[in-house]
Structure 1
Amino acid sequence: MDKLKTFSLKFLPIFLLAATLSVKVTAQQDAQFTQYMYNGLFYNPAFAGKEKGYNFSALHRTQWANYSGSNGPAPITQLLTASGSLDDLNLGYGLTFVNDNIGPTSNQEVNLSVGYHKRLRRGVLSVGLSGGIYSSTLKYDELNLVNPDPSVPLGGRETQMNVNFGLGAIYDNGNYYIGASTKHLNEPGFDFGDGAIENTLKNHSYLTAGYRIKTFAFWTFEPSILLKTVSFNNFSYDVSVIATHNQKVSGGFAYRGEESVSLLVGYSLLKDNSLRIGYAFDLVVGGLEAKSPTSHEFMLTYNLPQVSREFQRVIQRTPRYRF
């Protein structure tokens, strides 16, 4: 199910009815993106500096457009990433920022990633670490409780912050890649309402793999899969196939298990194709009783190549000699 959170829009009132007993849920808490294949740094810190140059991306997702429920508007998520590389040291660095709003909850995540890249056989093995801050806010005045509990405030909001760690690895030989990562290793905890509502950010693990197929007339095809699990108790997956012509125009389809089918399109601008715009449209096919049928995702990426200076030796001529 797409973008399930600890405080699910459908089940939030039920959870809060048992607030005095302390609520613990092991559903998907991380934001999910249809254009996951272009946002590897969000899932795996080993992507930091994997691509040469300086890379920037901005993504906006509107989940279940025009949804109107008893616990707030439709979920909305923003993702910003930036990365660069230190080629002489085989190192890369990256920064991710996530702003995720769903119902009465708002979460912000900032992570700094460091990656190390080493040639291995015919490919490159990358390993990475990440660390940062995770902030969670609960807006009590937007809660819609079936039976109000005196231990839960009637108004205002509460924000708590905690540290957050992750690690990952990926092997890429040009034709295919496979990577594994884990986030929220330390499982930071939040206890809202003086401990009445307990919310632990569970460990999330990801496995990603893809294959690049080069064909005639500048066409390439890339099937990929993203497998997700929460504490190895909850599993879901995304699969996609993207076709690209001449590194400029792309299009494809994706499927999120038992949740939605998606159409993805993209177009690269400028002469060097460094600026790219992307769009994904999701059509929900599962669980429509608790959702609106469509979601939209807009993305902008920019790749700034590293400037390398090459000095050419100039012949110096004098009346006596030259060198």
Structure 2
Amino acid sequence: MKRDFKLIVLFILNISTVSVFAQQEANFSQYMYNSSIINPAYSGSREDLTIYGQFRSQWVGMEGAPQTASLTVHSPFTYSKLGYGVSIISDKLGAMNDNTVAVDLSYTIDFDSDYKLAFGVKVSGSFLNVDYNKLTIYDETEGTDNLKNQFNPNVGAGLYLYSEQTYFGISVPYMLEYDRGNDQLYATMKRTMHFYGTFGHVFDLSREIKFKPTLLTKVIQGAPLQVDLSANFLFSERFTVGASYQFDSSVSALVGFQISEQFFVGYSYDSNVTKLAHYNSGSHEVFLRFELFNKYKRFTTPRFF
């Protein structure tokens, strides 16, 4: 298979056109460790200054395959019910490079004696770059100008209900729908809304072992319902091991280690369960979380989400 053909196929798979609908937003297998990417109401919920970095290399072995990096900082405002977050996401796919900068603001109230309810809004801007020189243009008479930092603003919102052991979330991180690209039909993309629903609960199996199942559902117009199920075990508040399954797509395994009270590092590997598995060697994801603890925080035990 020629390199240019691979780039074209991957480019089409990651965008929505008139006849093709697919996931457009950055995809991470271990979303549960950095939920502010999909839900702005999560920002500040850990009651610490949290810095989170993540990198995902998808479909290794296929030229032009997706590579996504993110950096997030979020924290509560001291003596306040407000929280904030700032995130940067760089999503590369073949000829396309999409960079997004977002600012989150959350407001949290005591729902009852055990639960808190947070409301969040996200304001973001994306900068799309497309280098058509990396593609094969069969009809060069039409001409195609490269895209350079095509800017599109957006807004999003979410709700996050949580306690020390349970959480529920619903969100739409990017609400505005619009066309992106050049005027030529084949170079035009339409961004659509993604609706997310999340759930997780932590079971104390013993004094040393915690078990956390999680659920993510994703609804995209014109695409099948996406469901992710995961199960993680935490041993002695230090070592994490788990697995997840994305229906009709992939399976993944995770390991993580709490190096110190401030540092947590993790790695996951995904394997496709579709025919695409014949053309790649899986996906790799690494992440690092650093926290500066707040002595005024409400939750005194370490959070597993």
Matched, 1:200 2:190: yes
Instruction: Tell me the residue number matched to 2:127.
Output: 135
The aligned runs of 1:180-199 (5 Å cut-off) are 180-193=170-183, 197-199=187-189
Over residues 74-100 of structure 1, what are the superposed CA-to-partner deviations in whole Å (9 max), with x where a residue is unaligned? 211101100011142201000111000
CA distance in 2, matches of 1:130, 1:46: 9
Alpha-carbon distance in 2 for matches of 1:258, 1:195: 31
Report what 2:300 is aligned to: none
Contact 1:158/1:192 (<8 A) preserved: no
In 2, distance between residues paired with 1:275 and 1:10?
Answer: 35
Q: Residue type of the partner of 1:112?
A: V
How far, CA to CA, are the matches of 2:292 and 2:127 in structure 1?
31
Q: Which has the larger radius of gyration?
A: 1
**Distance (whole Å) between structure 1 residues aligned to residue 214 and residue 96 of structure 2:** 32
Match of 1:46 among 36, 41, 47: 41
Give 1:24 deviation, angstroms: 6.1
| Structure 1: segments with no counterpart, 5+ residues | 1-6, 16-21, 309-323
Are the aligned partners of 1:24 and 1:198 in contact in 2 as well (CA < 8 Å)?
no
Which of 77, 82, 94 is equivalent to 2:85?
Answer: 94
Percent identity over the alignment is 26
- Deviation of 1:132 (Å): 1.4
Q: Provide the C-alpha distance between the structure 2 equivalents of 1:35 and 1:27, rounded to a whole number of angstroms.
A: 20
Map 1:1-323 onto structure 2 (within 5 A): 9-10=9-10, 12=12, 23=18, 25-68=20-63, 73-121=64-112, 122-145=114-137, 147-148=138-139, 150-153=141-144, 156-193=146-183, 197-231=187-221, 233-270=223-260, 273-288=261-276, 291-306=279-294
Does the 8 Å contact 1:123/1:172 carry over to 2? Answer: yes
Cα–Cα, structure 1 residues 24 and 105, in superposed 2: closer, same or farther, change >3 Å?
farther
Instruction: Pick closer, same or farther for the CA change 1:82–1:191 going to 2, 3 Å.
Output: same
CA contact (8 A) 1:27 1:234 kept: no
Gaps of 5+ in 2: 1-6, 297-305
The 8 Å contact of residues 205 and 230 in structure 1, kept in 2 or not, is answered as yes
Q: Cα 1:114–1:177, aligned 2, differ >3 Å: closer, same or farther?
A: same
Residues 10, 94 of structure 2: 8 Å contact kept: no
What is the rounded CA distance, in whole Å, between the counterparts of 1:11 and 1:278 in structure 2?
A: 29
Q: 1:80 to 1:131 in 2, by over 3 A?
A: same
- Where 1:9 maps in the other structure, the secondary structure is helix
C-alpha displacement of 1:180: 0.2
Amino acid at match of 2:85: G
On the 8 A contact 2:51/2:291 being kept in 1, the answer is: yes
Letter aligned with residue 97 of structure 1: I
Range with bigger deviation, 90-99 or 233-242 = 233-242
Question: Aligned letter for 2:294?
Answer: Q
The verdict on how the C-alpha distance between 1:136 and 1:110 changes in structure 2, with shifts beyond 3 A counting, is same
* Deviations, residues 14-49 of structure 1 (Å, cap 9, x unaligned): x9xxxxxx8564321011111111010001000111
Q: Is the 8 A contact 1:141 1:157 kept in 2?
A: no
Give the TM-score normalised by structure 2. 0.87
Figure out how many residues of one structure are paired with residues of the other and give that number.
287
CA–CA distance in 1 between the matches of 2:105 and 2:8? 33
In structure 1, C-alpha distance between the alignment counterparts of 2:27 and 2:279, rounded to whole Å? 16
TM value normalised by structure 1: 0.82
Q: Structure 1 pair 64/289, CA: closer, same or farther in 2 (3 Å)?
A: closer
